[in-house]
Structure formats: structure tokens, C-alpha cells
Copies of this chain bind each other. A is one copy, B any other.
Amino acid sequence: MERIYISELKENIGKNVKIAGFIQIIRDQGSIKFLIIRDVSGIVQVVVLKKNAEAMETAATLSHESVIEVEGLLKEEAQAPGGFEVSAEKITILSHADPELPIPVFEKGQEETDQSIRMDWRWIDLRKPKNILVFRIWTLMESAFREYWLGNNYIEIHSPKLIGAPSESGAEVFEVKYFDREAYLAQSPQFYKQMAMAAGFEKVFEVGPVFRAEPSFTSRHATEFVGYDAEISYINSHEDIMKEEEKMLEFVIKNIKEKYDDEIKEVFGKEVILPKLPFPRISIKKAKEVLGGLGVSGERGGDLSSEEEKKISEHIKKEEGHEFVFVTDYPASHRPFYHMRNENDPSVTKSFDLLWNGLEVTTGAQREHRYEILVSQAKEKGMKLEMIQFYLNFFKYGCPPHGGMGMGPSRMMMQLLGLENVREAMFLYRGVNRLFP
């Protein structure tokens, strides 16, 4: 007999079925035992009766979270969750769980186990249906982004993570022992998606890990996380990139809302709001003025502190009813050397960040594609030219004007579902003190 998903049982009442899963609950009433079995699709009650002596014998040895296979008749039972139960004729233990679970799958009482302990035993933590749901939604989110990209002529690239020189600046980069020399872990695919522009690919996307040797302990940082990157040729300014991102996000959120609206509301208490286009835009200069007016004084002149990000988002939400806001035109002093400067005011870059409900989820810009200007901007920033010559060369032999963005999908999941910490949106979090499991 083929094993079927628990979610498929309702079409099989009155039939013999085979299911498999983890034992969530064991209720022993002597001559009758009840089990709640959980698979990836749901839960079901199994009843074990004395007359099925072998099943009864096996049932007596079961522990919570052991994995079993159950064959038996599926019959209606008003008392059982879903209104039916499986009367076990045969129980096979597939995996015996140590009865001393280090953390509970289902918390008793109000307090959840401390996050750091849950992360130690992440695979048990992930058994919670709400955690599996996070990754189901992620799967759909990524698939929707890709559907957008594929439908719009993007080519997928997988750029190397092992690189010969730091991709952004010397700081916050991990060093790798590479045979008899040093390599570095890419802090972003920035240089390489630009290489694809110089190769004439015109539109590319990449999904892959990025690495930051940043000793940061906040709820929004990690030393390794997934980046979604896109780069587009023949743009006129960063405005074209913002327009593209709006369309992407509208498409992605629409897909998520269509499939998971109810579940997200039920499990996370969060409504998925389809964003209206265009998203609000505000220059960093104007944002600072607004924040000043609100009595919020930022610590950093050319950027927004995390407090300021929250406040400006709240302001936009109040004024324009929008969860998103593009903050644009950051000063050159606060942006990398490869951001293009404004034609009329070279102290300003053609750049943006996207905030979603107070959290930065994207950084984007038009890039400087003109070799001489790029070199002079690199010098101005004190870059060691010999370290980035391989990159500068991309612009020597013809390269279309281009721009792009780097998005943080784990932060997007965090804002979409209202999670308090980005770690909850990652399969396995990596931080300064976290390399296991």
C-alpha cells in the first residue's frame, strides 16, 4: 500500500490507508490508546484497540516524536480532529526518539523556549507547523520572484563566492585559506552581476549566499544570508530600477496573498497588504527634514539609523497609507564608489534604499559604467586600485549603462509575517557565536 499525506485522508474515509509521521501526542487509556500523528501536511488521530494485539504491543513502546508508519481503516469519529481517525491494524516504528527531548515541539504555557536554545536544536524547533509554514511561504516567494524574472527576459547567473579580492571594501570580509594563498568570501555578487552587464546579458538575477564578517548581534543581521540580486542594462537612472522593483514586489506579494492570506492571518496574525504602485519616494535629505520635524534626531548624517527607518516608515504609513517607501539620493559620502553620481549635484548618488514597515530590505543604484569616472571615484574613496583592477577592467571594453538592486529575502519574510527576529526566517542562522548545528 502507498503511504498518503494526512491531508489526503478526508477523501478516503471507509478505506484502508497507510500514513506516516511523527507522534505528537500519546494518550493511554489502558485498553485503548490514542496517538496524534503529524506529517508535513497535517495531523490525524490514530486509535489502537486491544483486539489488534500486535499494534497494541508496538504502541506500548512508543515515545513522543518517534516516527511511525500506520496502516488501518479510516473511519468517521466525531471526537477526533477533522472528524475521522485511523484504527491501527499495523504500526511500524521507523525511528525511535529519545524520550528526553531537549526542547518541546509544542510549548506548554505562554513562554517560548529561549531563542538561542531553540537554535541549538533548530531541527526540532522547525517541526512546529508555523515554522514549516515560513519555509513553504519562502518557497512560494522565491518562485514568484523567479516567475517575474523569467517572464521579463532575465538570465540567471551563479557567480563565484570565492573571490581573489574583497568585493566591497577590505572590512567585514571573511578570509579563506585557498591552497597556498588567500581568497575571500563574496560580500555580494555586485561585481559579477555588473560583469554580466559588460558581457551583454542585459538583465540578470542571482539567488545565493552573501557573507559579512560583521560582529553584529541585532535582530536583523547575520554573517551569512541569502541575497536576491538583479541588474539591468540600458536604464536612464535609478528610477528605472525602483520601477522594476515595485513591479516585482507587487507580483510577489500578490502571489503570496492569493495562496497564503488566510494562513498568514491565522498563524501570524498579520494581514498581507497588496502594495499600490507607485511606492512613495522621499529623498534622504527630505526624510531628514521630516524626521527633524518629528523630533527624531539621527545619529548618522547621510544615512538612516534603525530608529529613523522606523519613524520615517511610520510617517509614510500615516500620511500615505503605504508599507513601503523608497529613500533616495543618498550622499556620495555614504555610498560605495561604484554608485553613479547625480549629473547636477555630484555630492549626491543615484541610489535608493527600500524600507518595508521600518526595515531596509533593498539597496539599489545606477552604477558608474564609465571607466575614467569610476577610477576617479574609487581613488576618492581611498580604494586600492590594484585590488579592484580586475573589476575596473569590466568597463574598459564597452559596457552599457546599468543599475540594480540587492534584496534581503529573510528580512522580507520577517516583515511579511511580522517575525521579531530575522533568525526565525532563516533555515539555520549564522552569527558571530553561531556555527552549529
Contacts and interface: CB of A to CB of B under 8 A. Distances in A.
Interface of A: 3, 20-23, 38-40, 65-67, 69, 94-98, 101-102, 122-124, 126-127, 132, 135-136, 138-139, 142-143, 146, 150, 153-165, 174-179, 181, 183, 185, 192, 195-196, 198-203, 207-209, 211, 213, 215, 223-224, 226, 234, 369-370, 390-391, 393-401, 426-428, 430, 432, 435-437
A100 B71 CA distance: 74
Identical subunits present = 2
A202 B39 contact: yes
B98 A396 contact: yes
A402 B64 CA distance: 20
A426 B40 CA distance: 36
Contacts of A395: 95
6 contacts: A22-B398, A95-B400, A123-B199, A135-B157, A177-B177, A209-B209
Nearest to A141: B156
Contacts of A234: 3, 20, 69, 94
Contact of A159 (B38, B157, B223, B428): B428
A178 B174 contact: yes
Contacts of A208: 208-209
Contacts of A196: 123, 126, 427
B176 A156 contact: no
A400 B67 contact: yes
A76 to B, nearest CB: 26
Nearest to A125: B199
Nearest to A20: B234
Among A39, A102, A150, A427: residue with most chain B CB under 10 A = A427
B155 A437 contact: no
B158 A400 contact: no
A192 B39 contact: no
Contacts of A135: 155-157, 201
Among A67, A126, A192, A393: residue with most chain B CB under 10 A = A67
A176 B177 CA distance: 6
A104 to B, nearest CB: 11
Contacts of A181: 435
Contact of A397 (B102, B165, B200): B102
A39 B98 CA distance: 62
A123 B199 CA distance: 5
